[in-house]
């Protein structure tokens, strides 16, 4: 996500802010309704995106994937739940750390604001689609699997 801004120093500074967290199978990483103040990078394990019924998984995040970016970019309540299916090793990045590091990189900060605006527009359009259309777009990869992950 941050690599598209082309600043290795920015990424290096962000990496110094990462917190390593361990989750056991069944632990909730993100709970619906909480304000998004952090995002996560899966270092090892499998995390499920849980549907509103609290049983069905609608997305899976593997080693190398990340989630929670919409919550920190848009400062919204989480609309989904994320649950560890296996033993998981995650890196957590807090919004306050992104904001702090971004102050030293004005071009990156502008890029993050633009990305947030784009994600918000996609999210608004996505929520206006019929359920079957949303499923089709996600399945085909037209819409990122984390859309709805605020």
125-145 pLDDT tens trace: 666 555 554 554 454 444 444
- Of the candidates 43, 114, 47, the one whose C-alpha atom is nearest the C-alpha of residue 80 is 47
pTM equals: 0.76
**81 and 32 in contact (C-beta within 8 Å)?**
yes
Summarize the chain as % helix, strand, coil (round to 5).
40, 25, 35
Measured distance CA(23)–CA(91) in Å, rounded: 11
111-130 pLDDT tens trace: 777 877 777 777 666 665 55
Query: Given this model, what pLDDT does residue 1 score?
Result: 63
Ordered structural domains, the chain, with CATH: 2-139 (2.60.120.10)
Give the residues of the chain that fall short of pLDDT 70: 1-6, 123-150
Q: 3-state class of 3 per DSSP?
A: helix
């Amino acid at each position: 996500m941050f690599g598209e801004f082309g600043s290795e120093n920015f990424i290096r500074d962000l990496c110094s802010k990462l917190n390593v967290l361990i989750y056991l199978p069944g632990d909730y990483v993100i709970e619906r309704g909480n304000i998004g103040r952090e995002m996560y990078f899966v270092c090892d394990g499998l995390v499920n995106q849980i549907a509103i019924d609290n049983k069905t998984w609608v997305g899976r995040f593997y080693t190398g994937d990340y989630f929670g970016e919409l919550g920190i970019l848009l400062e919204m309540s989480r609309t989904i739940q994320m649950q560890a299916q296996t033993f998981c090793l995650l890196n957590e990045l807090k919004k306050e750390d992104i904001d702090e590091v971004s102050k030293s990189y004005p071009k990156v900060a502008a890029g993050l604001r633009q990305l947030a605006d784009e994600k918000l527009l996609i999210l608004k359009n996505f929520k206006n689609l019929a359920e079957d259309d949303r499923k089709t777009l996600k399945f085909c990869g037209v819409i990122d699997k984390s859309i709805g992950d605020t």
